[in-house]
Each structure stands twice: as structure tokens, then as C-alpha cells.
């Protein structure tokens, strides 16, 4: 008989220096309830793994080791593919790249993950799956499948908790780790109201390239949204579409932080009170968060190409 408390114990005693146990638990919690038949292939699990690690590594730039350079090969290959194709959404990566990465993930599962998963299992616990070295798939019993189906969301919470606990230790300066671990991809609210406020307070020029807007302007997060997970007025500027698109989720060159601090100082108190924003200036916070993101190896620095004369 499988019990949620056994899975909690299994996770608690899993290796504290690796994330593959929570990753596998979460991948299974997502795949098992909808699987057909009793076997899940390694590429199927590998693909699920890939999506989970992609979310944390490429979208939120959470390190899975003490430094990016110490991460497993497959994670570094993911980062490289994201940079090469300039994409942050997994589904926008070319199919051939996704397949190459899924194959690498399957190999990692076979060599390093599957046979270790139950190593910390409490005495008497029925394994969640069976697998022998060389098998191309894992076997899920009817009882295990019923267990996953009944407890999928609880098992995912347990996996997230364990995974976030590990990431907190090695990403000391990253805000919102639990939310980053449990989110799928990056979803944001509307910036319409903030755009209107910025149009009132700021110069009608792109914050980065300083060209006048000949078409529309857009709101840009100077310290990237994917780092902060929040829309703070003191972090926002008006930018032209080409700059905002090119900067994407990168940190800007440090001179733009200095410029943002000056901009925040100029933004009048009146408008902030009118819109019920506490008189910022949180200027220090911008500088501190920028320094923290740099220390976390967040991608950057970005600056617009010099204007052609």
C-alpha cells in the first residue's frame, strides 16, 4: 500500500546535493495519471524532465549547481540552445533541438537517476516504479498508477518543496524561488495602467537608445521581470519595441541602472501619490537587486547598438 507519508520520507532522505529525485517525482506526478498502458518510456520522462529544468534554468536562470559552469552537461546544453536560438519558451525551440536535448536527458535518466531514486526509500515502502539497467521504459503497477492519479497535486507540492529547498541554498540572492519552481513558464499581468503612468512622468524617448518613439512605446523591466516576478514602478521605463525585444530578459549595462536611479529621483512625488504608490524611491533597491542578479550570473549586460550616423 502506497502512502503519501512514505513519499515525504523518500524525499526527505534523498541526496541533499542533487535535484533529480524531486524532478523525477514531479515528472511522474504529471505523466502517470494520463499515461496509456503500464510503461513510460525514457524519452517520455526525459521530455517531461527537460520542460521542468528548462523552466527553472532558462526562464528563471536558477542555478542547479554552485556555479553555471558546474552544472550537468545537459543543463549547459539547454542554456546554449536557448542562447543560440534566442528563445526562452521551450515550445519555440526547433524540434530537432528539443529531440537532441530529450535524448541527452534520457541518457542521464538511465545512467544516473532511475536506479538511485528509491535509494532513500523507507523500509516497507512499495517502489513507485520498477526499472532495470538497460530497459527503455519504466513499469508502473496498477496500484502505483492509482496512487499517482489520486495524489498527483500533493506529490507535486512535495517535489516543489524539496526542489526549492535545494535551490535556495545555491541561489542565495534570487527572489521568489518557490514561485519560480511551481510556475510553468512566465505569465504576466497587464501593464496598461503602468504604461499610462510612465507616459505621464517620463520623457517621450526610449530609455535605452534615446530615440523618439516613431511608433508605439512599450514598458520595459530594467531588472528583468523573470528575476523579480513583480511589476514595480521603480523598475519600469518606456522603451522602443526594437530595444525591448532585443534586451528581452537580459540585465542592462550598469550605466542604465545609474540612469534609472536618476530617473526615479526625477519622477515627481505628485504622480506617485496620485496613483497611490508609496513615495519610492526604492533607488537603493534597484541598485541592490541589480547587483544581486549579477552575482547570480543572470544573463547580460545588454546595451543597444550605437546609432548609425
- Dihedral angle over CA of 16, 53, 159, 67, nearest 10: 30
Rg (CA), the chain: 23
243: contact with Zn ion by CB under 5 A? yes
With CB under 5 A as the contact rule, which of the stretches 70-78, 133-141, 191-199, 202-210 interacts with Zn ion?
Answer: 202-210
| Choices 148-156, 196-204, 240-248, 263-271; region in contact with Zn ion by CB under 5 A | 240-248
CA 103 to chain centre: 22
Number of residues that bind Zn ion (CB under 5 A): 5
> Does position 240 bind Zn ion by CB under 5 A?
yes
For the bound state, the minimum distance from the C-beta of residue 212 to Zn ion, rounded and expressed in Å, comes to: 10
Q: Is-contact 82 106, C-beta < 8 A?
A: no
Q: Which of 67, 292, 26, 49 is nearest to 163 (CA)?
A: 26
Residue length, the chain? 309
Which position among 23, 59, 206, 238 is part of the footprint of Zn ion (CB under 5 A)?
206
Helix/strand/coil for 49? helix
Q: Residue 244 in contact with residue 220, Cβ under 8 Å?
A: yes
| Binding of Zn ion by 238 (CB under 5 A) | no
Segment interacting with Zn ion, rule: CB under 5 A, options 37-45, 91-99, 181-189, 239-247: 239-247
- Find the binder of Zn ion among 8, 65, 173, 209 (CB under 5 A): 209
* 248 contributes a contact to Zn ion by CB under 5 A: no
CA atoms within 13 A on the CB side of 270: 3
CB of 79 to Zn ion, least distance (A): 27
Using the rule CB under 5 A, give the single segment among 112-120, 169-177, 198-206, 226-234 that binds Zn ion.
198-206
Residue 52 or 251: which CB sits closer to Zn ion? 251
Q: Rank residues 27 and 240 by Cβ distance to Zn ion and give the closer one.
A: 240
Beta-bridge mates of residue 91: none
CB of residue 253 vs Zn ion: minimum separation in angstroms?
Answer: 13
Binding of residue 170 to Zn ion (CB under 5 A):
no
Query: Cell 526547433 appears where?
Result: 94
Q: Which is nearer to Zn ion, 208 or 234 (CB)?
A: 208
CA distance 223 to 290: 6
Q: Is 163 in the site for Zn ion (CB under 5 A)?
A: no
Q: Is 303 in the site for Zn ion (CB under 5 A)?
A: no
SS3 219: strand
**Residue 253, burial from CB neighbour count under 10 angstroms (0-12, 13-18, 19+):** middle
Point out which residues bind Zn ion (CB under 5 A): 206, 208-209, 240, 243
Amino acid at each position: 500500500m502506497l502512502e503519501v507519508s512514505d513519499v515525504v520520507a523518500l524525499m526527505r532522505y534523498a541526496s541533499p546535493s542533487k535535484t533529480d529525485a524531486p524532478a523525477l517525482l514531479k515528472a511522474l506526478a504529471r505523466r502517470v495519471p494520463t499515461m496509456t498502458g503500464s510503461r513510460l518510456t525514457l524519452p517520455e520522462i526525459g521530455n517531461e524532465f527537460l520542460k521542468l529544468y528548462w523552466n527553472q534554468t532558462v526562464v528563471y536562470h536558477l542555478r542547479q549547481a554552485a556555479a553555471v559552469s558546474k552544472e550537468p552537461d545537459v543543463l549547459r546544453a539547454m542554456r546554449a540552445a536557448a542562447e543560440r536560438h534566442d528563445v526562452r519558451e521551450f515550445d519555440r525551440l526547433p524540434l530537432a533541438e528539443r529531440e537532441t536535448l530529450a535524448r541527452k536527458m534520457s541518457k542521464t535518466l538511465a545512467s544516473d537517476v532511475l536506479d538511485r531514486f528509491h535509494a532513500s526509500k523507507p523500509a516497507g515502502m512499495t517502489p513507485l516504479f520498477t526499472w532495470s539497467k538497460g530497459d527503455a521504459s519504466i513499469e508502473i503497477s496498477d496500484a502505483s498508477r492509482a496512487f499517482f492519479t489520486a495524489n498527483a497535486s500533493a506529490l507535486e507540492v512535495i517535489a516543489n518543496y524539496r526542489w526549492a529547498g535545494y535551490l535556495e541554498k545555491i541561489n542565495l540572492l534570487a527572489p521568489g524561488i518557490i514561485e519560480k519552481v511551481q510556475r510553468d513558464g512566465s505569465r504576466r499581468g497587464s501593464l496598461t495602467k503602468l504604461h499610462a503612468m510612465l507616459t505621464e512622468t517620463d520623457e517621450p524617448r526610449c530609455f535605452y537608445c534615446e530615440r523618439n518613439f516613431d511608433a508605439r512605446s512599450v514598458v520595459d523591466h530594467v531588472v528583468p521581470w523573470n528575476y523579480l516576478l513583480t511589476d514595480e514602478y521603480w523598475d519600469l521605463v518606456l522603451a522602443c519595441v526594437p530595444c525591448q525585444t532585443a534586451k528581452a530578459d537580459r540585465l542592462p549595462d550598469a550605466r542604465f541602472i545609474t540612469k534609472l536611479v536618476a530617473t526615479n529621483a526625477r519622477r515627481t512625488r505628485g504622480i506617485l501619490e496620485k496613483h497611490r504608490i508609496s513615495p519610492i524611491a526604492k533607488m537603493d533597491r534597484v541598485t541592490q537587486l541589480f547587483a544581486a542578479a549579477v552575482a547570480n550570473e543572470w544573463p547580460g549586460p545588454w546595451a543597444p547598438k550605437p546609432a548609425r550616423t
